[in-house]
Amino acid sequence: FPRAPGVVYNVANRRGAVRFGDLMRTFGLLTLMAAGTLTLMACGNEATLGNIPTDPDLPGTDDPTDPTDDTDTPPPPDPDGPSPLRDTDGDGIPDDRDGDLDGDGLLNDVDPDPDGDGQPGYTLPYDPADDPPIDPTTGLPILEEGSARGRVCAPNGTTWVAGADISVLTPNGAYTATSNGDGWWQVDGLPPGTYGVVVTKGSFYLQYNVTILDGQVTETIYDECLSQGDLTIAVVTGAWDHVEDVLEPLGLVVTEYDGDILGGNTQDTTVTNLLTNPGLLAQYDVVFLNCGISEDWVDTNETLVAQTLRDYVEAGGSIYASDWSYYTIEAAFPEKITFFGNDSDDNLYDARVGLPGPVQGIVADPAMALLLGSNQADVQYDLNNWVVMSSHDPTVENMVEGDYSYSGGSATGPLSVRFSAGAGRVIYTTFHNEGGATTPDMRKMLEEIALSL
């Protein structure tokens, strides 16, 4: 037969196949195993090269019709030895079929003695030192620790959430992390297993499971968009703030109450009905009070509004108020914030002394700083008479402060603050969402405020 580099030759009959060689180096003759019609095959591409008639009377051949002729019949396999290669599909090539339920698979051109020890099969090396250590208490292997990694997004699926709290709950306790400015988090040192993951941000809550594998990092980035769920949000619209234009792009659903002080709405009853009705107010988890809402309630229902709002927050509700809506906070929580001017009367204009212009804000809130990637923020006041805070109680947290100008001078003070009362939270900010005056930094800070309530 001609030399054919890279081609494996087998001689096959109905009993099986005999491997002739990986490389035909010379022309020569074959001594055949069995009488009958044999097929010479080039197994590199499984092409049949031709049939070879043989004579059972030739020396060195085995006549399969003669049970006494065992000239070249191989001995039966040793039951205690390795399993020999088998021709399971009758094509004359050992085990060249796709895997099936019997465990047969494609093993074409397999070398029966790959390690060259003179015995069929291959012995895998084994070192007991490679075994994992055993837990003396359980008797089970101690597997290598793994990690969980994820990314938290807002309900819209596109805004990444900074400062979310993540807990991976294991039998050994909770492993915790905080999402960074791009929403990423990672928890290391987790034993293999399936655990619950809890993500919280303000009033938002998310839970799902993660499976940790031995020594691997499991990513869960497609499972972690916060859901509004049954969280209810009310927005009282105003003349000079439109926080709803921040909330809705985040994927939040809100119920609006018309409170705009302009357009003849100076005696609006909708706002008063909401702020004086504990049952109606309790239907909402978070209430946003825009700058420029009707202030008729100050003259007619101040005491009732103040008590209703205080009870609402202490029972677990959250309030956002901006700029001119400050008096809702002053009335309900007079001990928390000292606004500019005389707090002893109802002159709402005493505190409205801020002058327009840019302010370099110093960001004290960790989540805001993560989101901005900086502890500084560009804040723009484009109108006169924004409300100035002089100071606040030690229980009130500065979120943003800065140097600003007001009628009669300049000062350094808080621009946005947060405090807790009972089970609820309050955020008050002097800056807000006002069309083209909102800088990118302000937009991010307002998004953070919205998700943190």
pLDDT per residue as tens digits for the range 9-26: 455 444 444 444 443 333
pLDDT tier at 262, thresholds 50, 70, 90? low
Average pLDDT over every residue of 330-342: 92
Element (H, E) at 108: none
**Those residues with Cβ within 8 angstroms of residue 9's Cβ, 6 or more apart along the chain or in another chain:** 1, 19, 20, 21, 24, 40, 41, 42, 43
Instruction: Measure the CA–CA gap between 432 and 321, rounded to whole angstroms.
Output: 9
**Those residues with Cβ within 8 angstroms of residue 392's Cβ, 6 or more apart along the chain or in another chain:** 336, 337, 338, 398, 414, 417, 419
In the predicted structure, residue 174 carries a pLDDT above the cut 80: yes
Average pLDDT over every residue of 200-206: 92
Q: What pLDDT, in 10s, does the model give residues 204-248?
A: 989 999 999 988 999 986 667 998 989 999 999 988 889 999 999
Domains by residue range for the chain, with CATH: 1-125 (no CATH), 146-219 (2.60.40.10), 233-452 (3.40.50.880)
Within 10 angstroms of residue 412's Cβ, the number of other Cβ atoms is 9
Reference 449, options 213, 223, 264, 201; nearest CA is: 201
In the predicted structure, residue 267 carries a pLDDT above the cut 70: no
pLDDT tier at 429, thresholds 50, 70, 90? very high
- For 315-372, where are the alpha helices, taking DSSP H only? 326-332, 366-372
CB 25 within 8 A of CB 4: no
